[in-house]
Amino acid sequence: MSFFGFGQGSLEQEKKKFLEGGLQESEDLAVYTWGEDSYDGLGDALLEGGDELNDETFGATGPVGKDFDFANQPLPESVGIAKSKTQYRSEPQRAHTPQHESGEYAPRHGEPSFNAAHSSLESIWDDKSPFSLLPRVNGGTRAGDQHRPSSASRSPFLSQPIISHGVNQTGVRTLQEIEAEMHAITQQARRQQEHELLRQQQIQLQQQEQLRLNQEEQMHLEQRERLRLQQDLRLQQQQPQRTPPPRMAPHTQSPRFHQHQQQILLLQQEQERQQQERLKELQERLRMEEIERQLRAQQISQMQRPPSLQGRRQSSYADLQAPQRRTHSPAYNDPQYPLMSQQNAQYLPQSIQLQQRLLSEMAQVEFMRDMQGISQAEQEALRLEAMRKIMETERMEEKRRRKAAKIAHMSRYNDLMTQSDKDFITRIQVSQLVTQDPYAEDFYAQVYGAILRSRMGLQQQDERVLKFGASGGVGLGLAQKGGGRRQSAMQKMESQVERIVSNARLREKEKGMHSVHSLQGALGKTSGRSYKAAPRQLLQVDASGASPTLTPAHLHISKEDAVRDNGEGAAREAAKLGREALGNAAATDGVIRKDPLTQRQILVTLESLYDLVLNVEQLRRDQPPEEEANFFATWSRSYNELVEQVWNGLQVMVPLETSDPHPFVSLLTPVKGKKILPRLSRHITPARMLTLLTLLVACFSQLDVVKDARLLEVLDDHPERDEVERQTQAFLGSVLQSILPVVAKAELRLISGLLGLFLDRNDIVTVAQTRPGIAMLTLFLSRVEIIKQGMSGIPETSELPTAEEAQQWQLMFDHLFQLLTPHFPVLFPSSRLSSQTLIGTPLPATDIIDQPVWQFLAALALHASPDQQSTLVSGLRDKVLENVTSANKGWVADEDSRQTKLANVNLFLHALGLDSSQIAV
Amino acid sequence: MDPSSTGIQEPFDLIRLSLSERVFVKLRGDREITGVLHAYDGHMNLILSDVEETIMIVDVADGASEDQGTVKVAKRKMDMLFVRGDGVILVSPPSRA
Amino acid sequence: MLIFSVFKTLTDQQVTVELKNDLSITGVLKSVDQFLNIRLDAIKVLDETRHPHMMAVKNCFIRGSVVRYVQLPAEHVDTQLLEDATRREAANQGKR
């Protein structure tokens, strides 16, 4: 930050440039780079000593004698600096102002008036009035005596080196203070200044005492005028020096911005000029008033006073003015507030006005005091009081200026966007955030909320549940249970958003389905070239020649797969059709065997099935009422089409022997395959479901849960075991659940057939040792039991099984019983487990996993003939006894497991008409 | 309908195949996860259940060269876990035994 | 939007947020936004001795990007529905 405005070197350059007339461009740069490139290092070369004479120099040691040496008497620092700075700063200013503004500036600040000031300067110098203080700056150097301006027409440029030289020489103290100011805290600096000012005031008073001379009114005015002029210059030169905000660095701005800047500058200058004129007027009036007053005073005093009084009065008035100017000059030049003072240059005139008014008041006070002949001490006190007031005003002003600067700093981006711009962006943001189709964008939360509500059996009472799904859109509906006003604001916002969204929808529809592209570029455009400059395709190979079927998306599918699919697709299609014609139970001749589906094929098929199911379910939700025949017809057509696709996707109709495992069984392998079945079965006709069940029964031993069931009997916690457990749970929970309704409606004949098929196609002993197998068998037995109960209970039922059917069932049951008889004990997982493990190792709680087996045996017992029952009991005697004994003897972990054990045994015994309590241990 | 010809068009379609399947996820910071995949999105944010996390901690003893450090493996299990996508390196089906 | 949708249903549930700096915070999920920024109430830091500066903190707002994991209450997540929602979103994405 430049204190001096310019380094010595740059000033010379400026001059040269000015003379060459090519100043404009580099002018700003020279200012901003001061202290870096063009800094001449003079500050470092300063003599820092010699402070011990300061007191003497500044007059603190008492009145200075008549032999007061003006050549060595520096001005009070701040004033001196300000003035000298003003002096030589004004040079580049004047050099470029003509380019900046119209002629109205030039006449006022051009050479004539300046020269006038200079010419008067000489006379002031001679008569040594207190008002010649300022001119003395120019000549107030040791060298100044030799270089004293001899001609009024001397060019101001020529005096430059002398002036700055003088400042550097005599201003040792001043520079020191600059250093201090640069680094010290603001407060400290200001206090120092205040102190300094007071001291200067004292000096001046002393000077006044000595130099009180008769003053001509003209002289007075001229002096004032010159001061004003200097102030003016200062104001104006500060403007181009403004530190621009980062964005506004002059060279980065458009020409239009420059124009604008200049216009502002002109305006400001114009304003200032008017202000000055008004001030001048004011001063004129003030002066007239004073003259009047003086006249009156003279009349009053009636020649009682010596003639010098008037001069003294005037000088004291001027004296008040001078420090007044000095008080604000430090603020202008204070390196810590440059931005502020510059930014607020336009406010200055007002403060000047204020101060002027204060001054006039002071003058009046002074006058009155003179009238009453108040003592010097009292005058001093009053003066101090006045100073204090002035300082206070100054401080207030500074505060205000700082505030204004802050506002100006913050407001530089004001009005960059218009209100409609902002609205536009808000609309885009909101329309991307909010949707009217919660099922599409917020599916999970919406459905989860609905499920939860239905599960809890409530309508809309529960705020907590409703909260995340309360209203249409994402992000909305999250309204807390706030007050009513907030609520209504929320509603307003929602309706507004709704409108915005629906409008956006309409527009989108008009544009077609290019929803993504519709927003492209909405927030601004990148240059059109960027997307056209995408890399050009260098190689252009005719793709049609290579392979007609393999699109890039399918390239990763192995060739083997592709060939096989292509080659056998048609054959399989034919086989399927033939199979369909023959029915599921048809002979398996002529079926082309294939490899089972790969894991990947299974997953791909399942995912496409899920897509279908989701579509079907969505369609189901959109089902139109049947009255609207047209809509309903269209709807049911597409619905049936989808269901047909689902059915085909399941591959139930693929010939039984096509592969092992059958494709349908393969599809049931992953958990999601098992889980999709209940969702599909809702849409599939019962006849087809029966086919599905038949296929499942026929291929039961191919199921992963049956094949891997042995893994469940591994004792240690193994990941694979966990996986099988998960699969088994999924199978029992999903697959069996979805075939349960089919079995529940099946007739006896059908059950007999299914059981027959089951026994025929599967190794029943193995299957019966699995949980799914036991469950399946139990399912059949229970259904038959229910049918039997129906037979005995309601004889008139139309669908009574015939005797022949009953006999067939009995045959099947006998066959099953016979097959299982030697293996009754090993049906229990606990038995199998204990046979594996060493004796003594504690078994895990097996009662729970044994329970389905007890259940099955109970069902078996119900159907069994007395002979079969005794076989059953003898086969299971050990198992029953073991359970009852351990329960009664307390060989159990806790009461719960004891109860379970007994319950299990009783389940079976009750079917036989017995109870565990009857067993004597 | 040929099952292998439908569906897969972009990498995310491959992840979709693993929905509700057990997956292996490699993460930044020497972490690995296996779990059943229930949800993913375009950021590779994942929601997994039945999760086991494995953290590799390499202890380099003072003075030992870098590859001499012992690798400590920490494991832990979590019921249901959301994994933020920015930490995900890869998602794959676990190698089938 | 899917994950956001899920988190919305978990408001007022207890979750454990694990940050990328290994800090684990358990608390009641109060709110979440589309960036998956998270607000937690009644928080408790897992290893309090290692993070004494967190002892006085009772609730917090977590920037989504610093989250590594969030442990969710499994009983409040419908996995079947979640998979469906994922499929729907994947299908919608594919259409665009």
If we measure between CA atoms, which residue out of A815, A679, A663 comes closest to residue C81? A679
Asked if residues A752 and A780 have their Cβ atoms less than 8 Å apart, the reply is no
Q: Residue A880: CB partners within 8 Å, gap ≥ 6?
A: A873, A905, A908, A909, A916, A919
Percent of chain C scoring above 90 in pLDDT: 68
Nearest by CB to B81, which of C65, C72, C94? C72
Phi/psi of residue A521, nearest 5 degrees:
80, 5
Model confidence pTM above 0.80: no
Radius of gyration of chain B (CA): 17
Nearest by CB to C73, which of B80, B83, B87? B80
Nearest residue on chain A to C10, judged by CA atoms? Answer: A468
Nearest residue on chain A to C82, judged by CA atoms? Answer: A444
Nearest residue on chain A to C90, judged by CA atoms? Answer: A611
Q: Residue A803: CB partners within 8 Å, gap ≥ 6?
A: none
Contact B5 A565 (CB under 8 A): yes
Residues of C in contact with A469 (CB under 8 A): 8
3-class secondary structure, C61: strand
| pLDDT at residue A359 in the model | 78
Q: Residue A487: CB partners within 8 Å, gap ≥ 6?
A: A479
Residues of A in contact with C74 (CB under 8 A): none
- Residue A859 Cα to chain centre, angstroms: 65
Contact C80 A675 (CB under 8 A): yes
Nearest by CB to C3, which of B13, B19, B41? B41
Q: Rounded to a whole number, what is the distance in Å from the CA of C56 to chain B's nearest CA?
A: 27
Nearest by CB to B20, which of A554, A608, A671? A671
Q: In terms of C-beta distances under 8 Å and separation of at least 24 residues, what long-range contacts does A905-908 make, across chains too?
A: A905/A854, A905/A880, A907/A851, A907/A854, A907/A855, A907/A858, A908/A854, A908/A857, A908/A858, A908/A861, A908/A876, A908/A880
Interface check for A515 against chain C (CB to CB < 8 A): the answer is yes
Query: Is the bond into A661 cis (omega within 30 degrees of 0)?
Result: yes
Cβ atoms < 10 Å from Cβ of C85: 28
Residues of B in contact with A720 (CB under 8 A): 97
Which mean pLDDT values do the consecutive 10-residue runs of chain A (921 residues) have?
49 60 47 48 57 64 54 49 46 45 43 46 48 44 44 44 43 63 67 77 73 61 71 59 45 55 75 82 81 74 51 48 45 45 52 74 69 75 93 94 89 82 78 60 84 72 42 38 50 70 67 53 53 49 40 35 37 39 45 78 90 89 81 88 90 81 89 90 89 90 87 74 87 90 86 88 88 91 85 57 80 88 84 66 67 88 86 85 79 74 84 77 58
Looking at the DSSP assignment, which residues form a beta bridge with residue A908?
A: none
Interface check for A520 against chain C (CB to CB < 8 A): the answer is no
Cα separation, C71 vs B49, in Å, equals 10
Residues of A in contact with B2 (CB under 8 A): 565, 569
Nearest residue on chain B to A649, judged by CA atoms? Answer: B1
Burial A860-893 (b: 16+ CB within 10 A, else e): bbbbbeeebbebbbebbeebbebbbebbbeeebe
Contact B12 C64 (CB under 8 A): no
Count A/B contacts: CB-CB distance under 8 Å: 55
Q: For an interface test with B, give the residue of A607, A641, A711 to mutate (most B CBs within 10 A).
A: A607
| pLDDT at residue A303 in the model | 53
Q: What is the DSSP letter of A42?
A: T
Cβ atoms < 10 Å from Cβ of A16: 11
If we measure between CA atoms, which residue out of A429, A441, A431 comes closest to residue A504? A431
Nearest by CB to A451, which of C4, C11, C78? C78
Phi/psi of residue A904, nearest 5 degrees:
-60, -50
Count B/C contacts: CB-CB distance under 8 Å: 80
3-class secondary structure, A214: coil
Cα separation, C8 vs C32, in Å, equals 7
User: pLDDT digit string (tens) for C73-93?
Assistant: 999 999 999 999 999 888 877
Neighbouring subunits of C (3+ Cβ pairs under 8 A): A, B
Interface check for B75 against chain A (CB to CB < 8 A): the answer is no
If we measure between CA atoms, which residue out of A501, A523, A496, A525 comes closest to residue A422? A523
Cα separation, C10 vs A887, in Å, equals 45
| pLDDT at residue A550 in the model | 33
Phi/psi of residue A537, nearest 5 degrees:
-75, 120
Nearest by CB to C3, which of B12, B45, B80? B45
Nearest by CB to C83, which of B20, B42, B84? B20
Angle at B37 between CA B33 and CA B42, to 5 degrees: 95
Q: First and final CA of chain A: distance in angstroms?
A: 108
Q: Rounded to a whole number, what is the distance in Å from the CA of A673 to chain C's nearest CA?
A: 12
Looking at the DSSP assignment, which residues form a beta bridge with residue B23?
A: B35
Interface check for B81 against chain C (CB to CB < 8 A): the answer is yes
The angle that helices A77-100 and A217-238 make with each other, rounded to 10 degrees, is 70
Cα separation, C49 vs C55, in Å, equals 9
Residues of A in contact with C5 (CB under 8 A): 441-446, 474
Nearest by CB to B17, which of A565, A607, A723? A607
Nearest residue on chain C to B33, judged by CA atoms? Answer: C69
Q: Residue A787: CB partners within 8 Å, gap ≥ 6?
A: A747, A748, A751, A801
| pLDDT at residue A415 in the model | 79
User: pLDDT digit string (tens) for B17-43?
Assistant: 999 999 999 999 999 999 999 999 999
Tell me the two tokens of residue A227.
């001061």
Interface check for A448 against chain C (CB to CB < 8 A): the answer is yes
- The answer to whether residue B1 scores a pLDDT higher than 90 is no
Q: Rounded to a whole number, what is the distance in Å from the CA of C48 to chain B's nearest CA?
A: 20
| pLDDT at residue C57 in the model | 86
Nearest by CB to B84, which of C68, C71, C79? C68
Interface check for A569 against chain B (CB to CB < 8 A): the answer is yes
Count A/C contacts: CB-CB distance under 8 Å: 61
Cα separation, C94 vs A614, in Å, equals 15
Interface check for A478 against chain C (CB to CB < 8 A): the answer is yes
Contact A449 C9 (CB under 8 A): yes
Residues of B in contact with A603 (CB under 8 A): 17-18, 21
Interface check for B87 against chain C (CB to CB < 8 A): the answer is yes
Cα separation, B49 vs B23, in Å, equals 10
Cα separation, C86 vs C84, in Å, equals 5
Residues of B in contact with A554 (CB under 8 A): 4-5, 8
Kindly provide the ipTM of the predicted complex, given to two decimals: 0.91
Neighbouring subunits of B (3+ Cβ pairs under 8 A): A, C
Contact A443 C85 (CB under 8 A): yes
More confident residue, C11 or A284: C11
| pLDDT at residue B30 in the model | 92
Residues of A in contact with B3 (CB under 8 A): 597, 601, 604-605, 608
Burial B20-55 (b: 16+ CB within 10 A, else e): bbbbebebeeebbbbbbbbbbbeebbbbbbbbebee
Nearest by CB to A611, which of C4, C82, C91? C91
Interface check for B14 against chain C (CB to CB < 8 A): the answer is no
Cβ atoms < 10 Å from Cβ of A728: 23
Interface check for B54 against chain C (CB to CB < 8 A): the answer is no
